[in-house]
Chains A and B, each alone.
Chain A
Amino acid sequence: MVAKQTPDMANHIEVRGLRYLRGRRVIFDGVDLDIPRGRITAVMGPSGSGKTTLLKLISGQLRPAAGSIRVDGQEVVRMDRQALYRLRRSMGMLFQSGALLTDLDVFDNVAYPVREHANLPEPMVRSLVLMKLEAVGLRGARELMSSELSGGMARRVALARAIALDPSIVLYDEPFTGQDPISMGILMRLIQSLNRTLNLTSLLVSHDIKEACRIAHYGYVIADGQVIGQGSPEELRHSTEPRLEQFLRGEPDGPVQFHYPAAEYAEDLLGPIDD
């Protein structure tokens, strides 16, 4: 099944036959994804299913063992460092930890990519940074150091930095993890409004199903190295695929077992039992 497309909503990112191994462990085995332009797409899956790895593969930080990853029609897998850097200028990424530069304050963190790439006079950099900080509601926090920010604020600053160069794609790595309900609500609203107002292509990976499904237009669920379900949030909710049902309903036992594989419990406790 491939994401539904209309002529004005071509795929911004296309992944075909993706295979990636970490040591001998297969992380992805034949994964196909279509990320439509200008929409919010959520990739969901249990912890350790390779969601963050997927973002690193799409942004060229990792190389797959096989398969194709095309961003804006360009093959990422074969790009050299310079080509990757050119591509990344049109890409923002919100890291799970925020990943703010700890020796810079909020203002300089947001200004960093602008100063590196835009070659603008300082008054213009200031205006641009203040506009980005205003968009995430932290214009007043410009002089704080990253160590003085709460987790939610750090993520909002990181979001302002991610959109500082007006990218066409923003990748969100677990944006809701560890957030209190207020911060989570703020982040959800921000992701939605930025996607709409800047006409961004947003790809977010998350295991917070409820929140991801509330803002995503389309979703994929990955587990065991494969896509086990995809569709609109409504379609996903009505899926009858057992692994998908277990994941979406948060059931402790099912195809993914509660118990790690082990010998018989009685045998483990009492030793070998003779018949």
Chain B
Amino acid sequence: MIEALVRLGAGSLGATATTGRAGMFLWRLLAQLPASVRRPGGVVRQLYNLGVLSLIIILVSGLFVGMVLGLQGYNTLVDFGAEGSLGTLVGLSLVRELGPVMSALLFAGRAGSALTAEIGLMKATEQLSALEMMAVDPFPRVLAPRWLAGFIAMPLLAVVFSAVGILGGYLVGVELLGVDAGSYWTNLRTSVDFYDDLLNGVIKSVVFGAVVCWVALFQGYDCVPTAEGVGRATTRTVVMASLGVLGFDFLLTALMYGEVG
């Protein structure tokens, strides 16, 4: 009994300490953002690593998610003779929810794990210590540019995901199942609002990008500097970033669409 209490206490202390370190880490990232903006070269390089290299998985996933939405939506709507509203269903689902959330989950798996592994390896091979010893703060030079690039890339990837998804829905709904192309596009255009839907989706993506990259960078920076430690940190990144995305999605949806309670 006492042992269990001791373990619980030690676990709670450990979790509190980690949360504190993560908070301090976020504070230092925020403080160093202006410095990384002044050196755009590093941010552009990371935009390539995080954004461009994630494009393939985003394009393919977006296309398939859109095609599945088209198929499932058609099968449901056709029972009510409302297959002309397929554009509305596909558009709203993607722009409001699936685009930002799915692309953030994929981003956590593809770019978040890569970020953790990269920073963890820099720690394990003493590159971060070497920077510190050269009197170079790794926050403005290494960490903040990656964070900034993450939340620039994330909304762009989400927009690409939604756009390709809408195209996928069109391919299945219009080209394969015979929904009228005019009603698909017209319903899509009239029901998807720029501010309420598109902009809110983009705001969600920015938050998701910041959360995923914060978790990924912190896990890499805070990992045990061994091969095993880096591996564990990479796994933790994918789990925690994904849970973070889903948690923030509920919070933001409740705030934006306000229909809870």
* Interface pair B135/A97, CB less than 8 Å apart: no
Q: How far is the CB of B197 from chain A (nearest CB, A)?
A: 40
Partner of A61, one of B122, B132, B134: B132
The yes or no answer to A168 lying at the interface (CB within 8 A) is: no
Q: Which 10 pairs from chain A and chain B are nearest by CB?
A: A99-B130, A99-B126, A85-B135, A88-B135, A113-B134, A93-B133, A95-B126, A89-B135, A116-B136, A99-B127
Q: Are B133 and A91 in contact (CB under 8 A)?
A: yes
Q: Size class of A's contact patch? A: 20 to 34
B75 in the interface, Cβ–Cβ < 8 Å?
A: no
- The yes or no answer to B19 lying at the interface (CB within 8 A) is no
Contact call B129/A99, Cβ cutoff below 8 A = yes
Which residues does A use to contact B, with CB under 8 Å?
Answer: 56, 59, 61, 81, 84-86, 88-89, 91-93, 95-97, 99-102, 112-113, 116-117, 158, 161
Within 8 A of A (CB), among B39-78: none
CB <8 Å contact, B125 and A99: yes
Contact A101 B127 (CB under 8 A): yes
Contact of B133 among A81, A88, A116 (CB under 8 A): A88
Work out how many contacts link A and B, with CB atoms closer than 8 A. Answer: 51
Tell whether A113 pairs with B136 under 8 Å between CB atoms, given A95-B130, A101-B130: yes
Question: B48 → chain A, closest Cβ, in Å?
Answer: 12
Quick one: which of B93-136 are within 8 Å of A by CB?
A: 122, 125-127, 129-136
Q: Once the chains bind, are B134 and A112 in contact (CB under 8 Å)?
A: yes
Contacts of A161 in B (CB 8 A): 134
Assembled-state Cα–Cα distance A158/B131 (Å) = 12
CB atoms of A85 and B129 under 8 A apart = no
Given contact pairs A99-B125, A102-B125, A93 touches B135 in the complex (Cβ within 8 A): no
Q: What residues of B have a CB within 8 angstroms of the CB of A93 in the complex?
A: 130, 133
Interchain nearest-CB distance for B119 vs A (Å): 12
B193 at interface (Cβ–Cβ under 8 A)? no
Q: How far is the CB of A74 from chain B (nearest CB, A)?
A: 15
| B196 at interface by CB-CB < 8 Å | no
Select from chain B the residue with minimum beta-carbon distance to A101.
Answer: B127
Chain A's closest residue to B141 (CB) is: A116
Interface membership of B137, Cβ < 8 A? yes
Query: Is A88 touching B127 in the complex (CB atoms < 8 A)?
Result: no
Within the assembled complex, what's the spacing in Å between the Cα atoms of A102 and B125? 10
Residue of A nearest to B121 (CB): A102
Q: Determine the chain A residues whose CB is within 8 A of the CB of B129 once the complex forms.
A: 56, 61, 95, 99
